[in-house]
């Protein structure tokens, strides 16, 4: 093949997605920390899936690449997903005036790809997906000429990417200690291998096609909504609609007129048209009416309807002075944050990190003059920043919290509903509350690993202090006491707040609190039922 068009580009990427999805668990297992808190393979798969869902079936490469890039930017999850979205944004930057490209032009797009991704990362590290992307093309660029086919280009590219991937442990100590290659780089190689296979007429079939809507738990739903419940909040209705030529002339579809219709049926409306795809979010008591109207213009790519009575996730419908948005894992933590005036809670979905689009939807559905976002996970900060960049809104303020503990103490230091305080006052108060806070996370290892010289066996309890694994043990309470004792100037601390996980009984949590009080009589210790999924205990020390 000598030229690449938009249709072939999409088919190649679809093959790459299948290749990645089929090996997702292996990529996840390469993560250095043996904890299922937003695994790389899952984040990359969801990001690319979002891009291909949005991607136009168009021979024009610039149109196909534009819709792919936007879909990936919106769907980006975790650091690996954000970087992957930036890599393909870089390709679009090069393709933006191209109907087709030859081999030399595609190689130049690959160069633009890694340069764009490097620019998006504040402190790029070598030995990561960035290195694999850069060295993959950098070391073969001199071998590329107009007589080369795409098949030959991908042969050279993947060979060099695999060499770069194998070398990542030599560039990054944390990989060397854990005896693994970089997971993000490994995922990228899989995507390009799938693209190469398409060029060889090898179609990769996904072994386990992902479903869009998760089955609900009837017993759980019945606890929250039964035959005597008042239906007060309506349905959160979201869908992607593919406009159809057989139903209308594309030029005759007016998104503003459709929004006017939605306003007669509900509120918290977010709707925009991206090429021939329409994205809609609306809170309505009559989702059937909305869907029937939408189906006059096209057919659904994806569809989600949720009873908001079950979610307990009320949104603000009037313009507030300040809207605060926090990501949490655990409904108990969410309820605690609401007590401190947090407006919007984004519940993390088990090990799925929050996407850029979820931040955008939360912002658009909650009108405010200023926004404060708490990502509460270092792997979510980039997605929040990307949302701010896409919206181009200087009134979005991201507090780079890496744990819910930092958010918890930060929220306590300010009154978000006090309109006499300026946004700068609130931000200063929050940062003051976070300063000096220690976060201790306790969980069990899901596999054998070595991190920073510490040997970890599957099933061990792990103590993670301020993002760093410090100790392991088979005795959880002893491990926690030893970890607390290792904190600098623990004798100067005043508060220990314990959030207990979903699998921890009240008795276990109270017993731990008693042990801590016995050892640190001078520190006020309290227990909160956090109901978080991944960590047995999330402990804040301040």
Give residue-wise pLDDT tens across range 165-190.
999 999 998 888 888 899 999 999 99
Question: What pLDDT shows up at residue 452?
Answer: 79
278-323 pLDDT, tens digit each: 888 888 999 999 999 999 999 998 888 888 766 543 333 457 889 9
Confidence (pLDDT) at 533: 85
Does pLDDT of 216 surpass 60? Answer: no
Domains of the chain with CATH codes = 3-199 (1.25.40.340), 234-311 (3.30.70), 320-434 (3.40.50.510), 438-541 (3.30.1180)
Can you name the residues that pair with 440 across neighbouring β-strands? 465, 539
Strand (E) or helix (H) holding 27: helix 24-29
Q: For 57-73, give one letter per residue: b (16+ CB within 10 A) or e.
A: ebebbbbbbbbbbbbbb
End-to-end alpha-carbon separation of the chain, Å? 62
Using DSSP's 3-state secondary structure scheme, residue 483 falls into helix
What is the arithmetic mean of pLDDT over 61-66?
94
pLDDT of residue 34: 72
Using CA of residue 475, residue 478, residue 482, residue 483, what is the dihedral sign?
positive
pLDDT band, residue 35 (cuts 50/70/90): confident
Give residue 134's Cα distance to chain centre.
24
Q: For residue 166, how many C-alpha atoms fall within 13 Å in the half-sphere facing its CB? A: 6
Locate tokens 């290792």: which residue?
486
pLDDT, position 274: 66
Across the range 345-361, mean pLDDT stands at 79
Strands 495-501 and 524-532, by their bridges, are parallel
- What does the mean pLDDT of the chain come to? 88
Instruction: Provide the phi-psi class of 521: left if phi over 0, else alpha when psi is between -120 and 50, else beta.
Output: alpha
Mean pLDDT of 506-513: 95
Task: Say what the pLDDT of residue 301 is.
Answer: 87
Q: What percent of the chain is modeled with pLDDT above 90?
A: 61
pLDDT at res. 221: 43
User: Which sign, positive or negative, has the C-alpha torsion 473, 477, 482, 486?
Assistant: positive
For residue 218, is pLDDT > 90?
no
Q: What is the mean pLDDT of residues 387-414?
A: 93
Residue with the larger pLDDT of the pair 318 and 457: 457
Q: Out of 207-216, 233-242, 365-374, pick the least confident.
A: 207-216
Taking the C-alpha atoms of residue 519 and residue 515, their distance in angstroms, rounded to an integer, is 6
| C-alpha span between 90 and 75 (Å, rounded) | 16
Question: Rounded to two decimals, what is the model's pTM?
Answer: 0.75
Q: Work out the pLDDT band at 36, boundaries 50, 70, 90.
A: low
β-partners of residue 243 are 298
* pLDDT tens digit sequence for 77-127: 888 999 999 999 999 999 999 999 999 999 999 999 999 999 988 788 899
Res. 219: pLDDT tops 50: no
């Amino acid at each position: 093949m000598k030229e690449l068009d938009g249709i072939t580009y999409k088919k190649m990427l679809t093959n790459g997605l299948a290749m990645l999805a089929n090996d997702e668990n292996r990529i996840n297992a390469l993560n250095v920390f043996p904890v299922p808190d937003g695994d790389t393979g899952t984040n990359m798969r969801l990001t690319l899936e979002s891009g291909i869902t949005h991607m136009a079936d168009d021979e024009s490469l610039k149109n196909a690449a534009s819709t792919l890039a936007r879909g990936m930017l919106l769907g980006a999850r975790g650091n690996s997903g954000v970087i992957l979205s930036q890599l393909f944004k870089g390709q679009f930057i090069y393709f933006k005036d191209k109907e087709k490209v030859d081999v030399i032009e595609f190689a130049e797009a690959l160069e633009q790809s890694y340069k764009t991704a490097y620019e998006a990362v504040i402190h790029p590290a070598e030995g990561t997906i960035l290195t694999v992307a850069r060295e993959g093309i950098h070391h073969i660029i001199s071998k590329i000429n107009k007589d080369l086919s795409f098949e030959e280009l991908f042969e050279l590219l993947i060979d060099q990417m695999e060499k770069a991937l194998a070398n990542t442990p030599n560039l990054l100590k944390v990989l060397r200690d854990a005896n693994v290659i970089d997971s993000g780089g490994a995922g990228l190689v899989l995507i390009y291998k799938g693209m190469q296979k398409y060029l060889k007429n090898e179609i990769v079939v996904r072994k386990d096609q992902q479903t869009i809507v998760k089955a609900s738990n009837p017993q759980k739903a019945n606890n929250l909504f039964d035959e005597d419940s008042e239906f007060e909040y309506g349905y959160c209705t979201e869908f992607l609609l593919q406009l159809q030529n057989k139903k209308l002339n594309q030029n005759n579809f007016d998104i503003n007129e459709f929004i006017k219709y939605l306003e007669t049926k509900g509120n918290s409306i977010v709707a925009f048209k991206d090429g021939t795809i329409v994205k809609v979010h609306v809170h309505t008591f009559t989702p059937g009416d909305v869907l029937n109207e939408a189906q006059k213009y096209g057919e659904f790519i994806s569809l989600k309807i949720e009873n908001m009575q079950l979610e307990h996730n009320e949104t603000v419908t009037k313009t507030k002075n300040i809207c605060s948005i926090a990501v949490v894992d655990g409904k108990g933590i969410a309820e605690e944050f609401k007590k401190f005036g947090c407006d919007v809670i984004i519940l993390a979905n088990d090990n799925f990190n929050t996407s850029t689009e979820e931040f955008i939807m939360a912002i658009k559905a909650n009108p405010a003059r200023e926004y404060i976002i708490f990502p509460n996970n270092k792997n979510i900060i980039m997605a929040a920043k990307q949302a701010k960049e896409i919206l181009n809104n200087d009134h979005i303020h991201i507090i780079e919290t890496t744990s819910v503990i930092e958010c918890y103490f930060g929220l306590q230091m300010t009154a978000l509903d006090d309109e006499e305080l300026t946004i700068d006052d609130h931000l200063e108060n929050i940062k003051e509350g976070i300063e000096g806070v220690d976060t201790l996370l306790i969980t069990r290892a899901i596999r054998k690993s070595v991190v920073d010289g510490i040997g970890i066996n599957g099933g061990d309890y792990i103590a993670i202090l301020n993002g760093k694994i410090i100790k392991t043990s088979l005795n959880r309470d002893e491990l926690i006491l030893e970890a607390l004792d290792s904190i600098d100037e623990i004798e100067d601390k005043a508060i220990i707040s314990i959030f207990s996980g979903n699998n921890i009984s009240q008795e276990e949590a109270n017993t731990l609190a008693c042990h801590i009080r016995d050892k640190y009589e001078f520190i006020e210790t309290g227990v909160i039922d956090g109901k978080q999924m991944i960590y047995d205990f999330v402990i804040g020390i301040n």
